[in-house]
Amino acid sequence: MGHLKDLTLEMARAVVSKAEEVRVEEVEGASMIVLELSVAPDDMGRIIGKEGRVANAMRTLLRTSAAKDGKRVNLEII
């Protein structure tokens, strides 16, 4: 299931200005995968986006990808 982490990393790195500070922790449960994403403080706005658009687009793609394996996913930006 490493591909969700890679997907998160790819999307986050492409959006932020400090790609080297992007971190993703993946915690896999029975049916739920939690992805904890952290970015540089001044990239918070970019990763969330206007009205949450960037974060929501990332969540949609992660959800679609996880649904293929019958899993649910929760992206937390911390």
Partner 1 sequence: MLNQNESLDVSAKTVEEAIDQGLEQLNLTRDQVEIEVINEGKRGIFGIGSEEAVVRLTPKPQTVVSSQSHNDIQSAEAASDVLPEVPATLEKEDVVEAVDAVDVEAESSTEAIAQPPDAEAEIPLDEETEPEQDVAASAKAYLEELLDHMGIEAEVTPRIAPDLVDPGEEPPLVLDVTGKDLGILIGRRSETLQALQYMVRLMVSKDMQSWQRIVVDVESYRARRRRSLSQMAKRMAERAVSSGERVVMESMSAYDRRIIHVALRDHPDVFTKSIGRESNRKVTIIPK
- Residues forming contacts to partner 1 in the complex (CB under 8 A) are 3, 6-7, 10-11, 14-15, 50-54, 56-58, 60-61, 63-65, 67-69
**C-beta of 10 vs 25, nearer to partner 1:** 10
Shortest Cβ 37–partner 1 spacing (Å)? 15
Say if CB 8 and CB 75 are below 8 A apart: yes
The set of residues, in sequence order, having a beta carbon less than 8 Å from that of 63 and lying 6+ positions away, is 72, 73
Burial class of 19 by CB neighbour count within 10 A (0 to 12, 13 to 18, 19+): middle
Shortest Cβ 41–partner 1 spacing (Å)? 18
**C-beta of 39 vs 54, nearer to partner 1:** 54
